[in-house]
Amino acid sequence: MVSQLIGKYYRTGSLPHIWCPGCGNGIILRAIVKAIDNLGLNQDDVCVVSGIGCSSRASGYLDFNTVHTTHGRALAFATGIKFANPDLHVIVITGDGDSAAIGGNHLIHTARRNIDITTIVFNNNIYGMTGGQYSPTTPTGEKGTTAPYGNIDANFDLCELAKAAGATYVSRSTIYGANMIINQVEEGIKNKGFSFIETISICPTYYGRKNKKGNAVDMINQLKEMSINKTAYDKLSKEKRNGKIVVGELHKSQRTEYTEEYEKIIQSF
Amino acid sequence: MGEETFKLMQGNEACVEGAITAGLNFFAGYPITPSTEIAELSAAKLPRVGGKFIQMEGEIASISAIIGASLTGKKAMTATSGPGFSLKQEGIGYAVMAEVPCVIVNVQRGGPSTGLPTSPAQGDIMQTRWGTHGEHSIIVLYPSTVREIFDTTIKAFNLAEKYRTPVILLMDEVIGHMREKVEMPNREKIAIYNRKKPSSSLEKYLPYKVSEGDMVPKMANFGEGYRYHTTGLVHDETGFPTNNGKIAEELINRLVHKIENNLDDIVDYEEYKLQDAEEVIISYGSTARSAKSAIDVLRKEGRKIGLFKPITIWPTAKNQIEDLSKRTSRISVIEMNMGQYFLEIERIAGKYSKVDKYGRSNGELITPKEIVSFIKEG
Ligand SMILES: Cc1ncc(C[n+]2csc(CCOP(=O)(O)OP(=O)(O)O)c2C)c(N)n1
Ligand code: SF4
């Protein structure tokens, strides 16, 4: 079944990919493709837009209309694409640095507009491509090559950010639960509005090594240990909440969608 | 519709009129003086003709959005000034590399930084040429009358589509805000160029392959079935990234030569009283207007002087300028900066002719009177 997916949706000519052995990116990418397959979308109608980073290399491996843009700007390119041609299903693949640091403002405003774009953040808590510098999601106290004495920044809760900015579908998953990712991407694509999916990934090469997290299998097991659903999380005492990853659907709401609203203006003349 | 009509128009308005005539159907922008009217008028006019306007969260977002829109087949434009133009540079480089047609208007104001927001300046001449990093060529057009803004905006779109490249339309505060009575051309007589689309079968489409004797690949729109990849990385004919030095060299050479080898098509200029001229002024944009008046005064006094006004600023009209330098004894480059285009003219003309410069950067217009005395002193 896997090879069937690869044959249909991957550009086999552009493989092998550049990712390190044990990298979490491949798991998320396969889940995205599986979700698209489950929904039965026509490949010609799908546009995958990514920024710059290890994760953002994903667009080149997929057989859709694909754009590998500039660092942090995937959502702005995607906004142009979706607004120009609302018939396309626009999916953005981005990293935690790409979406939350250099591209943080675009994330806020794309959510605010509630334009029908589905964004999947491959959150590995580090800048992978540039060799392990700390990112806006590196937990406080952890190390990166630019935080040799431990990161003193507070880290972002990206889902809270997306929700507050106006996203109408927000969820989180980890690469331990591929089925959960598939389900969330499906829900995200089905939602007529801005959908934000944060998938916690692993970078054994930099984040893992710098912070002595063990090998890829160890890191995936840690994700499993840390994951908890919202209801269970809410019942935990404050101390026990520390270090937990709340997974599942975190927010859903209904609001007018940007391209539809603009179409009404065009139709009014 | 087919008749010529007269209209009183502002420069920025003529830009929007020209753009819509050329097929503009997507505008993304962020307000900044003195370009704001272009965004405001686009917001008002585009939905009426089925086009789209979006105010983005900044200039980087705006250039990104127009590149995205162009990939779906739209004719896309953004407009800005100084600080915003600086922000767009990375995006302009992306459009160069991925060969995405689009038009970027820069109505110049005084700089550096926030500078003199409401004063005229021509300080971005070199930035338009070398603003984005890396080896590249770029097309930059600079009109100097309201009617010329209309025509040049159309030309900007045509060249962007023909050469699959970003085109920068340079203006300045004076011509952007000036109102003039304009004779609008008969629309049926205006030539509009649209990007060449692939005719190959879906499977055979190589997005960056050029056919024999051509330097510009055919461009499919996203959503039409030709699924392909674009990237700002060096890429081969398939659009996928490569580190191969030979492919990189071929690509960069093609991107530069598709422009530099087509000067006859791209280079546009106006000559004023040059036939018998022994002396030349080279000036562009609003300063060229003062230069024309100065020439009229000097001609009355018996001086054989004329104006060469480049409308295409980059690539430079090097053949024409070299010719001029061979048949005249003095070329004066007059511009509202401290000698940016002068550097280029001196490089081309310095071998054969004396090349002088006159200019400043204090936000004040260069008057005909000043030019007259500068020429007389020389
Ligand atoms: C404007 C700009 N600044 C910096 C870079 C260098 N850079 C490339 S990727 C990257 C960070 C990537 O981190 P992330 O988005 O978390 O993706 P990952 O590689 O971890 O998947 C940086 C800083 C760049 N390409 N462009
Ligand atoms: S550096 Fe990290 S994120 Fe990048 S490919 Fe390797 S493991 Fe994955």
Among candidates B71, B225, B241 on the partner chain, residue whose Cβ is nearest the Cβ of A67: B71
Q: How far is the CA of A147 from the centre of ligand 2 (A)?
A: 18
Ligand nearest to the CA of A25: 2
pLDDT digit string, tens, across residues B209-258 = 999 889 999 999 999 999 999 999 999 999 999 999 999 999 999 999 99
- Superfamily the domain A20-267 falls into: Thiamin diphosphate (ThDP)-binding fold, Pyr/PP domains (3.40.50.970)
Residue A184 pLDDT > 80, yes or no? Answer: yes
The residue of chain B nearest to residue A102, with distances taken between CA atoms, is B60
- Among A59, A70, A265, the residue with its CB nearest the CB of B47 is A265
Segment B291-314, tens digit of pLDDT:
999 999 999 999 999 999 999 999
In order of their start, the domains of chain B are 5-189 (3.40.50.970), 270-377 (3.40.50.920)
pTM metric for this prediction: 0.98
- The answer to whether residue B60 neighbours chain A at the CB level (below 8 Å) is yes
Q: Is the ipTM of this complex over 0.90?
A: yes
Taking an 8 Å cut-off on Cβ atoms, the answer to whether B76 and A67 are in contact is: no
- Model confidence at B3, in pLDDT bands (50, 70, 90)? low
Name every chain A residue with its beta carbon within 8 A of the beta carbon of B87.
none
Q: Is B134's Cβ below 8 Å from some Cβ in A? A: no
pLDDT at B163: 98
% pLDDT > 90, chain A? 96
B1 pLDDT above the threshold of 50: no
Residue-level pLDDT at B255: 98
Q: A127: Cβ below 6 Å to ligand 1?
A: yes
The answer to whether B87 contacts chain A (CB < 8 Å) is: no
Higher-confidence residue: A76 or B202? A76
- Predicted local distance difference test score (pLDDT) of residue B213: 86
Average pLDDT over chain B, rounded to whole?
96
Chain B interface mutation, best of A36, A62, A70, highest count of B Cβ atoms under 10 Å: A70
Residues of A within an 8 Å Cβ radius of B: 11, 13-14, 43-45, 47, 49, 59-60, 63-70, 73, 76-81, 83-85, 87-88, 105-106, 108-109, 262, 265-266, 269
Q: What is the atom index within ligand 2 of the atom nearest the CA of A124?
A: 3
Residue nearest to atom 13 of ligand 1 (CA): A127
Distant-in-sequence, close-in-space partners of A61: CB < 8 Å, separation ≥ 6 = A10, A11, A14, A15, A17, A29
The string over B154-166, giving b where at least 16 C-beta atoms fall within 10 Å of a residue's C-beta and e elsewhere, is bbbbbbbbbbbbb
B102 at A interface, C-beta within 8 A? no
**Where does the pLDDT of residue B378 fall: very low under 50, low under 70, confident under 90, or very high at 90 and above?**
confident
B94 touches chain A (CB under 8 A): yes
Q: Which residues contact B60 (CB under 8 A, 6 or more apart)?
A: A73, A76, B87, B88, B90, B91
* Nearest ligand, CA A129: 1
Give pLDDT tens digits for A82-139.
999 999 999 999 999 999 999 999 999 999 999 999 999 999 999 999 999 999 999 9
Per-domain residue ranges for chain A?
Answer: 20-267
A54 Cβ inside 6 Å of ligand 1: yes
Cβ-based burial of B279 (10 A; exposed 0-12, middle 13-18, buried ≥19):
buried
Facing residue for B229 by CB, picked from A66, A262, A265 = A66
How high does pLDDT run on average in chain A? 96
Nearest of A93, A92, A165, A82 to residue A116 by alpha carbon: A82
For residue A13, pLDDT beyond 90? no
Give the pLDDT band (50/70/90) at residue B265.
Answer: very high
User: Taking residues B189-199, what's their average pLDDT?
Assistant: 95
Write down the pLDDT at residue A2: 53
- What is d(CA B73, CA A103) in angstroms, rounded to the nearest whole number? 25
